[in-house]
Amino acid sequence: DVERSRGLGDVYKRQEQVWQGTRSHPYGEAAVISTLAVVLQLLGEAGDQAALLQRAGQLWQQRNIERFA
């Protein structure tokens, strides 16, 4: 189910909806969580890949969903 974009405004709106939790985008969310896991490792967070991904997932769940409202 691919939704056609009507320009950057649509893209930004969908990104905002994913951030706020009103829309799901599994690929996008996985990309954010994976990138965050790498950042955690670069910042010196201890743990193997699975632990870092779990911590990144927790941070994603705890994000401030009102941040970009």
pLDDT per residue as tens digits for the range 15-48: 999 999 999 999 999 999 999 999 999 999 999 9
Q: What is the mean pLDDT of the chain?
A: 91
Buried (b) or exposed (e) across 39-61, using 16+ Cβ within 10 A? ebbeeeeeeeeeebbebbbeeee
Instruction: Label residue 68 by pLDDT band (50, 70, 90).
Output: confident
Distance CA 2, CA 35 (A): 24
3-state secondary structure of 32: helix
pLDDT of residue 45: 96
Q: What is the pTM of this model?
A: 0.82
